[in-house]
Amino acid sequence: MDYFLELFFGGLTRGSIYALIALGYTMVYGIIELINFAHGEIYMIGAFTGLIVAGVLTALGFPEASILVIALICAVIWSASYGYTVEKIGYKPLRGAQRLSPLISAIGMSIFLQNYVMLAQTPDFLPFPALTPQFDFMKPYSAVMNSSELVIVVATIAVCVGLTLFIKYTKLGKAMRATAQNRKMAMLVGVNVDMVISATFVIGSSLAAVGGVLIASHIGQINYFIGFIAGIKAFTAAVLGGIGSIPGAMLGALVLGLTEAFATGYVSSDYEDVFAFCLLVLILIFRPAGIMGKEKTQKV
């Protein structure tokens, strides 16, 4: 039973991280129908920024508790800036181009950012300091779940609730939904579409940065390559839930996280990534609209 629970909470943690990244994919796809291939890299940059800031603060002798908060804030600020810049350089000039052009540009961005971080920092794994505090009340449950997992799950829930409320009730959130439904119409009724698209990238990137810092601190090491696999898996989660749908991305991430945890726990850990890819391939073939997505018929 303990093993099952351990796997369950492990899966929940994974799922939470996937959700934080998947939201960025789904929001961008919802608005400009682009698979933002570079999104995984934004997550990786978030983790690196967190590590660098934490390193500087530790060297300067800041108190433990404040480091996590400041590192998170800095990671969010810089990841958001990267997300914004990537959109301005790589995608904005391609509005209205053929469908494949922005996707290829996104792949180029992804390659560029990975190598940029590799060259500027290091090609090796870097140890990431454990930033999350160890709660005493979690001690009795340490066999199945530890403090940093709790922090990740709670933070993810908070972020998801916040995002849902934001999309539902704020002016910008409404503008985003309008743009996602019909960009031309939104433009005609006075929505600043360029601003909405930028905001989408900024928000998506911020969420990814939160995920990056939390998971890095949980696992304890990062390198420039972590964004690739995490990105693909989060994308799988987004598709699983129905790309373009925000609750779908959360649900899909949860399903994927748990599937992976149980499959590696009970079947084989060698094929961890194979499970995720197989799931992705199967969903796209048999239910391309995902769990919560709707199949669109193209008007002729």
Residue closer to ligand ATP (CB basis): 1 or 300:
300
Q: How far apart are CA 166 and CA 143, in angstroms?
A: 37
Establish if 85 lies at the interface with other proteins (CB under 8 A): yes
Cβ at position 299, least distance to ligand ATP in Å: 4
Could you tell me the two tokens for 263?
């499959």
Cβ at position 276, least distance to other proteins in Å: 8
Segments in 220-245 forming alpha helices (H): 226-241
Establish if 121 lies at the interface with other proteins (CB under 8 A): yes
Strands (E), the chain: 126-127, 221-222
3-state secondary structure of 127: strand
Establish if 295 lies at the interface with ligand ATP (CB under 6 A): no
Q: Is residue 149 a contact partner of residue 12, using CB atoms and an 8 Å limit?
A: yes
Nearest Cα residue to 103 out of 38, 41, 40, 45? 38
Q: Is residue 291 a contact partner of residue 241, using CB atoms and an 8 Å limit?
A: yes
Q: How far apart are CA 162 and CA 164, in angstroms?
A: 5
> Which residue among 12, 28, 51, 255 contacts other proteins (CB under 8 A)?
51
Establish if 99 lies at the interface with other proteins (CB under 8 A): yes
Q: How far apart are CA 28 and CA 174, in angstroms?
A: 15
Could you tell me the two tokens for 262?
């149980």
Amino acid symbol at 120: A
Establish if 294 lies at the interface with ligand ATP (CB under 6 A): no
Binding mask 192-231 vs other proteins (x if CB under 8 A, - otherwise)?
------------------------------------x---
List interacting residues with ligand ATP (CB under 6 A): 297, 299
User: Under the rule (CB under 8 A), what is the footprint of other proteins?
Assistant: 33-35, 45, 48-49, 51-56, 58-59, 74, 78, 81-82, 85, 89-90, 93-94, 97-105, 107-117, 119-121, 126-129, 228, 232, 235, 239, 270-271, 273-274, 277-278, 280-281, 284-285, 288, 297-298, 300
